[in-house]
Amino acid sequence: MASLTEVPNPVTPGAIFKFIPNLIGYGRVITLILSYFTMANHPIITMGFLYSASCLLDAFDGYYARKFNQSTQFGAVLDMVTDRCSTCSLIVFLAVLYPNYFIAWQALISLDLASHYIHMYAQIVSGSTSHKKMREEANWLLKLYYENRVFLFLVCAFNETFYIALYLNYFDFLYIPGTNISLAFWTTIICSPVWFFKQICNVIQMINACQILAELDAKKYNDARKAN
Active-site residues, by number, are 83
The rounded distance, in Å, linking the Cα atoms of 121 and 188 is 32
Helix (H, G, I), strand (E, B) or coil at 175: strand
**Secondary element (H or E) of residue 214:** helix 183-227
Of 197, 219, 86, 66, residue with least CA distance to 144:
197
> Whole-angstrom Cα distance, residue 153 to residue 187?
18
Alpha-carbon gap, residue 129 to 120, rounded angstroms: 11
The Cα 68–Cα 60 span in angstroms is: 12
- Rounded to whole angstroms, how far apart are CA atoms 15 and 77? 17
The reply to whether omega before 10 is within 30° of 0 (cis) is: yes
Q: Is 182 helix (H, G, I), strand (E, B) or coil?
A: strand
Helix (H, G, I), strand (E, B) or coil at 71: coil
